[in-house]
Amino acid sequence: MILCCGEALIDMIPTATTDGRQGFVPHAGGAIFNTAVALGRLGAEVGMLSGLSSDMFGKQLIDGLEHSHVDVSHIILSDRPTTLAFVQLIDGHATYSFYDENSAGRMLSVEDMPPLAQEVTALYFGGISLACEPGAAAYAELLKRAGEGRAVMLDPNIRPSFIRDIESYRRRLNQMLAQTDIVKVSDEDLNWLMPDATSLRDKVARLQELGPSVVILTRGGEGATGYLANGTQVHASAVRAKIVDTVGAGDTFNAGVMAKLSELGHLHPVGVAQLSAETLTEALAHGARVAAVTVSRAGANPPWAEEL
C-alpha cells in the first residue's frame, strides 16, 4: 500500500450563480488528498494519513476518499475545523487564500502518528503539511520512524506565504530529503530551494546530494525531466489538453508516476535506486497523461483508469 501523508482540505471553487454573481462551491482537495484519490482511481492500493474534522466538510473528504477506493483507516479525527482554500482562477491558473488556523490537519502532533503495518510499502509526503507547525514536525517524525525499508516520494510544493521560519523549514525539509528516494520539484520550487546555484542542472545536482535517488523536475507545458543518480537524464513532454484550470495538476502527475512505478514493480528503495532510463521515462509519460485529463476539467478531478 502507498500511504499518502499530509493535508486534505476543501477547495472553494468560484462558480457563477443564477443571478450572475460569483459564488463558491466546496470541492474536496488538498495536494496529498488529490494524489491519494488519483492513485485510488488509477487502481493502485493506497491509503491516506491525515487529520480530518468531524464536521460536514470532514465527512465530505472521507466520502471522497472512500469513493475513490482509498483506505481511511489511518485518518485521525478531531472536532477542530476543516482547512478551507478559496480559489481564484486567472486564465485557468489557480491562486489560493487559505484558512488554516487551529485546523484538524494542522494541529496533528507527534503523539498522534500511528504505527504502520507491514502492508504499507511506500510513503508520500508534501504540500503545505510540511510547512505548518505543529503538523509539519509530526510528519517529519513519522518519516524518521517509518521510512526505513519503504519507498519514499516527496513533493515540497513550496508556498512561501506559509513558511513562518525559513531556517527551521529548510532544516526540516533537508532532513526529510535525506530519507527520500524520489523528489519531485517544479522549477519554482527548485529556484527557492537552491537560490545560490548558477544553473538549473547545478541546482538538481545539489538536490541529489541531499539524498534522493531520483529527481523529477516539472516545467508546466515544457513537460517533466527526470534525473538518475548516475547522471542519466530523461524527458517526457506535456500532453496537450484544453485547460479548464490547473487545480491538482501536479498532484495527479505524482500519482501517475507512482502508480506506474508500482505497476512495474519498482516502487521500493532498491527498485528506485536501480531505475533504468526507460522505466523512468515510462513513469513520467504516464504522469503527464494523467495530469492532462485533470487540467481539462474543473477542480481536482483525476481520471479513472478506464478513462485513459
Average pLDDT over residues 218-235: 93
Which pLDDT belongs to residue 241? 83
Other C-beta atoms lying within 10 Å of the C-beta of residue 16 = 9
Kindly indicate the confidence band of residue 32, based on its pLDDT and cuts at 50, 70 and 90. very high
For residue 125, the model assigns a pLDDT of 98
CB half-sphere exposure, 127, CA atoms < 13 A: 27
Q: Is the pLDDT of residue 245 over 90?
A: no
Q: Compare 17 and 122 and report the one with higher pLDDT.
A: 122
Poorest-confidence range of 115-124, 142-151, 232-241, 256-265? 232-241
- Fold entry, domain 2-307: UDP-N-acetylmuramoyl-L-alanine:D-glutamate ligase (3.40.1190)
Spatial neighbors of 86 by CB under 8 A, at least 6 apart, are 12, 24, 96, 97, 98, 99
Q: Which residues pair with 70 in a beta bridge?
A: 46
What residue spans define the domains of the chain? 2-307
CA distance linking residue 77 with residue 12, whole number of Å: 22
Tell me, what DSSP letter sits at residue 104?
T
DSSP labels for 2-45? EEEES--EEEEEEEE-TTS-EEEEEEEE-HHHHHHHHHHHTT--
Other C-beta atoms closer than 10 Å to the C-beta of 58 total 24
Q: What cell numbers appear for 162 in the block? A: 506559509
pLDDT at 92: 61
**Edge-first strand listing for the sheet containing 122-126:** 70-71, 46-49, 2-5, 122-126, 151-155, 182-186, 214-218, 224-228, 233-236
pTM (predicted TM-score): 0.94
User: What pLDDT does residue 13 have?
Assistant: 84
Over residues 116-129, the pLDDT tens digits come to 999 999 999 999 99
Where is average pLDDT lowest: 8-17, 83-92, 97-106? Answer: 83-92
Mean pLDDT of the chain: 93
Over pLDDT 70: what percentage of the chain?
98
